[in-house]
Amino acid sequence: VEGAGPVVAVLGGGQLGRMLGLAGIPLGLRFRFLDPSPDAAAAAVGALRVSSLHDADAAAALAEGAVVVTYEWEGVPGPTARAAGARAPLRPNARALEVAQDRLAEKTMLARLGLPVPAFAPVDGRGGLDEAVGRLGLPAVLKTRRGGYDGKGQRVLRTAGDLDEAWAALGDVPLILEEHVAFDRELSIIAVRGLDGTTACYPLVETEHGGGILRATRAPAPGPAEAGQAAADAIARRVADELDHVGTLAVELFERDGRLLVNELAPRVHNSGHWTIEGAVTSQFENHLRAILGWPLGSVAARGHSGMVNALGTLPDRERVLAVTGAHLHDYGKGPHPGRKVGHVTVTADTSAARDQGLAAIRAVVDGR
Ligand SMILES: Nc1ncnc2c1ncn2[C@@H]1O[C@H](COP(=O)(O)OP(=O)(O)O)[C@@H](O)[C@H]1O
Ligand SMILES: [Mg+2]
C-alpha cells in the first residue's frame, strides 16, 4: 500500500508480539507475525502467517520485504532465525538467541565474562547426575538445557532420594544442575541496546515468582537502589556488548546478602518489563523497535512507581480491576487455560506506599478475593 509504513517481521505471535505491535503502530510501523496458532494473540495487530517455527521457508517468506526481522520467543530454532535473517536484518542476532536458549551455553558465557552466576555443572546421563550432585551438593536445581519456561522443565533436588524422580520427570535430555540459591529476593534489569551500541537500562525491578512463574513486579525495586542498580547495569551492558545485542534484553537476577547473581537472560522484551508501558517514559516495546530500526532510543526513566500483576489462567473481573485507582488492564485476547499468561494489570502511583496499596488491591481482584 502506498504511503504505508515499514514492515517489521516478528518470529512468534504471542502477547509479546501483540504488545510490540501496540507500541509500533503509533510510530507508523506495520507488522507480520509467524506463529503455529491461528488464534495467536498478535493477530489483532498485524498480519499472521500460520506455520511452525521450525519452518525455515515460512520464516524467510515472512521476512521478505520487511525492513527488519525480530523474535518475541526465544524458542525460535536457530535455523529458522537465520533463514529469516537472510532476507532482512535479524535483530537481535542469531547468536544472542542461541546462547539464551541453552542454559549451559548461557551460564558458560556469563562465567567466562567473569559475571556472578550460581555454581553449575552440565549433566549428561544418569551417572552424570550423581557426579554433578557430588560436586555441587544439595539442595540443587536440575533443569533442561533447552525449552524450559515459566518454571517448566526443572526440579529442585533436596535429598539424594529426589534424584530418580527428577531424572524420570525431565527425561533423558541434556540437563544442567545448579546450586539452589537461598536468595533474599529476585530482581530483573531490562536493557536496550541500539544499533550504534548505545545502551540504556531501565530502573531495577523486584520480581516475585510462584511455582516458577512471574507473579508480580515492583518498579523501581524498593530499598536503596544505587548500588544494586549500578551492579545490574554493568552486568546487562557487559552481556549486551558481548553478544552485540540490538534491542531489548532482560537479565533475571538473584539478590543474596546484597550481592547479585545472574539467573538467566532473555534476548527479547520480557514480562518483568511490562510495567514500562505505563510506568516509564518509553516502554520496553517501543524501545525494542527503536533499537532494531536504528532509531534514537527513548528515555528509560520511570514515571513514579509501578506495580504489575500477571493474570494466570483466567482474566480478573474487568470492572473490579478498572475501579482500582491507577490500574491499567491488559487483556491478551487469549482463551483461558490453567497457568497460561492471559493478561496483566499495571498500577501506577506517585509514591511507593500508594503503589503497594494499589498492588494489594489488584492482587485481591486477580486472586478472586
Ligand atoms: N538455582 C536456583 N536457585 C533458586 N531458585 C531458582 C533457581 N533457578 C530457578 N529458580 C526459581 O525458579 C524460577 C524459574 O527459573 P528460571 O531458571 O528463571 O526458568 P524459567 O525459564 O522457567 O523462567 C526462578 O525465577 C526462581 O524463582
Ligand atoms: Mg526465568
Q: Report the nearest-CA residue for atom 11 of ligand 1.
A: 212
Dist CA 57 CA 150 (whole Å): 29
Helix (H, G, I), strand (E, B) or coil at 213: strand
Residue 362 CB partners (closer than 8 Å, separation 6+): 307, 309, 316, 321, 324, 327, 345, 347
Quote the pLDDT of residue 228.
Answer: 93
Helix (H, G, I), strand (E, B) or coil at 152: coil
Q: Is the minimum distance from the CB of 149 to ligand 1 under 6 angstroms?
A: yes
Dist CA 103 CA 144 (whole Å): 8
Regions in the chain scoring below 50 on pLDDT: 2
Query: Strand (E) positions, 267-304?
Result: none
120-123 sheet: strands from edge to edge: 120-123, 175-179, 140-144, 154-157
State the CB neighbour count (10 A cutoff) for residue 55: 17
Ligand showing the shortest atom-to-Cα distance for residue 139: 1
Query: Strand (E) positions, the chain?
Result: 7-11, 30-35, 47-50, 68-71, 120-123, 140-144, 154-157, 175-179, 185-193, 199-201, 205-210, 213-219, 247-256, 259-266, 305-312, 327-331, 341-349
Q: Report the nearest-CA residue for atom 10 of ligand 1.
A: 212
Dist CA 307 CA 184 (whole Å): 19
Rounded to 5 degrees, φ, ψ at 244 are 50, 40
**Ligand 1 centroid vs 156 CA: distance in angstroms?**
10
Quote the pLDDT of residue 1.
Answer: 53
Q: Report the nearest-CA residue for atom 7 of ligand 1.
A: 180
As given in the structure block, the three cell numbers for residue 295 are: 532509531
Q: What is the pLDDT of residues 221-238, one digit of tens each?
A: 998 777 899 999 999 999
Mutate to test the pocket of ligand 1, among 154, 183, 184, 272 (most ligand atoms within 8 A of CB): 154
Residues 24/4, Cβ–Cβ less than 8 Å: no
Please report where in the chains the cell 530482581 appears, as a residue.
187
Q: Report the nearest-CA residue for atom 1 of ligand 1.
A: 180
Quote the pLDDT of residue 369.
Answer: 85
Q: Is the minimum distance from the CB of 75 to ligand 1 under 6 angstroms?
A: no
